[in-house]
Amino acid sequence: MTVTIETEVEASFPFDHEKLARKVVAAALAHEGFPYEAEVGLLLVSPEAIQAMNREHRQIDRPTDVLSFPMAAYGSPGDFEALELDGDNFNPDTGEAMLGDIVLNVEQVGEQARQYGHSEEREYAFLILHSMLHLFGYDHETEEEAAQMEKKQKEILDGMGIAR
């Protein structure tokens, strides 16, 4: 598993954010039974940078907490058989499945942790996990989809010992 972490802004969290990011990615891969070695990118940015990306890619001109850029298309969420059929999903140098990129608004982590009454560590883990599920093809456009994602998020975070 390769998790490439880049920072465009200072990320001064009261925990080892790189270690936690890798732990969350590994937990998501394990929970979903991902059958390949995987590659994920994580970019830590400012509110201004994520707003520009949100405007460009989603036509929403405001900052957000996290954006997900999946590289694979799935027949249905969590159906990884489609990856093997499309050889473009694997890095030719490493053989790892290229899942995509996560862009995280560093300032929003602290703000949302305070808003929801939990630790920055929990919020950071949650946002990365939420994006990982998007990289697996899950979404929350309908109530059923949202309930499925929420259940998976809770199971994985609880399994990691990261409670609200």
pLDDT at 94: 94
pTM for the complete prediction? 0.95
Largest CA distance in the chain: 44
CA 138 to chain centroid, in Å, comes to 11
Location of structure tokens 């929801």? 116
The tokens describing 2, both together, are: 């390769």
Tens of pLDDT, residue by residue, the chain (164 residues): 999 999 999 989 999 999 999 999 999 999 999 999 999 999 999 999 999 999 999 999 999 999 999 998 888 899 888 777 666 889 999 999 999 999 999 999 999 999 999 999 999 999 999 999 999 999 999 999 999 999 999 999 999 999 87
Q: Are 100 and 135 in contact (CB under 8 A)?
A: yes
